[in-house]
Amino acid sequence: MSRQNPFAAILAGAGLEPRRGRTVVGRTRIRPSLAPASPRPKCTTPCLYERGRCKFCGRPAYGRRKARARGQAPRPRACASEKVVQRDCIALYVAIGCHYSAKDETDIYVLGTRRRRGDHQGTMQTPGICDLWVFLPACAPLAKPGAVTPTCVWHEVKAEDGVPSEAQLRFQQKCFNRGIAHVMGGVDALTAFLIQHGFLVGDRR
C-alpha cells in the first residue's frame, strides 16, 4: 500500500508541487512524495540568452556563451595555451642538458602557471616574478671564444597572444640592467636565446 503524504493538501493549497528531497513547511521538516519533477524543456534551436540565461530553457550562459549573451564578441582561442607552451619550453631545456624532476634534484624550478595536484599555489607570490628559474648547463659547446655564457635564466612564459603586465616588464628591465639573463615568450623566444649564447646551432641558410 502506498504511503500518502499528510501535507499533500497543504502543498496543493499553497500552489506547490511535491518534488524530490525535503520541503520545509513552517518549522516542520517533512519528506514529500517522491513524484519525479517535470523535466526542463530543451531548446531545439540555439539558445537565446538574455541577462545570462536562455529565455526558453533557462540554461545559464558561461564562457563564450556568456560573452555572446552580453552582446560581446567571444575571445578567439589561442593556438596553444600558456600551460602547453611552458611544457614545450621545459622539454627544450631538458634537450640541451638541464635536469628536470618534480621531486628530486632539478635544474628547472617552476614558480607559476599550473602546478601538480595537491601543491600549494603560493598566492603571496610577488607580482612580476617569472614562471621558470633555470640553471643552464655549465658548458655551451657552440659559444664564441671569449663570450660570457649565462649560468641561469629567468623565463616568463607567454602564449602567442599573451600580453605581459607592467610588473613583468619592470622585472625584465631590472634583470637587463643588472646583467641577468631573462627570456619572455614561448619556444621561439627561447630558441633564439639558446642560439645567441651557443647552446643550439642556428639555421645557416
Q: Is the pLDDT of residue 14 over 70?
A: no
Per-residue pLDDT at 118: 52
Choose from 67-71, 79-83, 90-94 the range with maximum mean pLDDT: 90-94
pLDDT value at residue 43 = 67
How do the domains of the chain map onto residue ranges?
1-38, 41-75, 82-196
199 DSSP 8-state letter: S
Q: Residues near 90 by Cβ (< 8 Å), separated by ≥ 6?
A: 100, 108, 110, 132
Q: What does the pLDDT look like over 154-188, one tens digit per residue?
A: 999 998 888 899 999 999 999 999 999 999 999 99
What are 36-54's pLDDT values in tens digits?
A: 556 666 665 667 666 667 7
Distances (CA, A) of 94 to 36, 103, 107: 58, 16, 9
The pLDDT tens digits for 91-116 are 999 999 999 987 778 999 988 655 55
Cell of 108: 628547472
pLDDT band at residue 9 using 50, 70 and 90 as cut-offs: low
Q: Are 47 and 56 in contact (CB under 8 A)?
A: yes
CB 133 within 8 A of CB 157: no
Neighbours of 46 (CB within 10 A): 9
Q: What is the DSSP letter of 55?
A: T
| CB neighbour list of residue 97: distance below 8 Å, 6 or more residues apart | 137
Most confident listed range (2-16, 29-43, 85-99):
85-99
Percent pLDDT > 90 in the chain is 34
Q: For position 78, what pLDDT does the model report?
A: 47
Quick one: pLDDT at residue 17? 59
Fold classification of 82-196 (topology level): Trna Endonuclease; Chain: A, domain 1 (3.40.1350)
Mapped onto helix, strand or coil, the DSSP state of residue 29 is strand
**pTM of the predicted model as reported, rounded to 2 decimal places:** 0.58
Q: What is the pLDDT of residues 122-147, one digit of tens each?
A: 556 788 899 999 999 988 888 888 88
Higher model confidence: residue 21 or residue 176?
176
Residues with Cβ within 8 Å of 195's Cβ and at least 6 positions away in sequence, in order, are: 201, 202
Maximum distance among all Cα pairs of the chain, rounded to whole angstroms: 96
Are 82 and 187 a contacting pair, CB within 8 Å? no
**Residues 155 and 192 sit within 8 Å (Cβ to Cβ):** no
